[in-house]
Structure 1
Amino acid sequence: MDKEQELQKFGKKIKDIRELKGLTQAQLAHKINKDRESIARLERGGINPTYLYLMEVCEGLEITMEELMKSNNFEL
């Protein structure tokens, strides 16, 4: 799997968690002071997020970084 595919896979994981939490992109963006388009790019795999950005996303999703980084199915 190439880097682009890895980012897409990771973005889908974030989207899945967000949807399980019942949040829209706009709601998550508001919680972490980002714009909705930034969340959309992240979920599409269009950006390679920094560690600090991922920390903010985890805070907004109310999960730990460890939960986000699990390679298999995640538990909420």
Structure 2
Amino acid sequence: MDKELQLQKFGKKIKEIRESKGLTQAQVAHKIDKDRESIARLERGAVNPTYLYLLEICVGLEITMEELMKLTTTEN
């Protein structure tokens, strides 16, 4: 498994979800008390997020962890 590629795909999907909700990186970051660059790194696949960080992202995107996992694993 190419871990770097998987993180990039995951980040791209998070970006798609964010954009579909009409949110900017700054808005998501503000909702979860992070900086915009943190969200940008996640969307680029430059970080391997922890479970707790993913929970925060779900809060910012107003989705459940179950929805996030389903949305990010349905595409190969």
TM-score band, normalised by shorter chain: over 0.9
TM-score by length of 1: 0.92
User: When the two structures are aligned, how many residues end up with a matched partner?
Assistant: 73
Give CA-to-partner distance per residue, 1:31-51, whole Å, 9 cap, x none. 000000000000000000000
Let me know the Cα RMSD of the aligned residues.
Answer: 0.9
More helix by share: 2
Is 1:72 the counterpart of 2:64 in the alignment? no
| Residues 48-57 or 64-73, more deviating | 64-73
Aligned to 1:9: 9
Deviation of residue 72 (structure 1)? 1.4
Query: TM-score, length-normalised on structure 2?
Result: 0.92
Cα displacement (A) at 1:60:
0.8
Of the two structures, which has the highest relative contact order with CA contacts closer than 8 Å and spacing of 6 or more?
Answer: 2
Gaps of 5+ in 1: none
Displacement, 1:9? 0.3
Partner of 1:54, secondary structure, is helix
Structure 2: give runs of 5+ residues left out of the alignment. Answer: none
Distance in 2 separating the partners of 1:68 and 1:9? 13
User: Which residue identity lines up with residue 59 of structure 2 in the other structure?
Assistant: E
Q: Which residue of 2 aligns with 1:39?
A: 39
Q: Which runs of 4+ in 1 moved over 2 A?
A: none
| Identity value in percent | 81
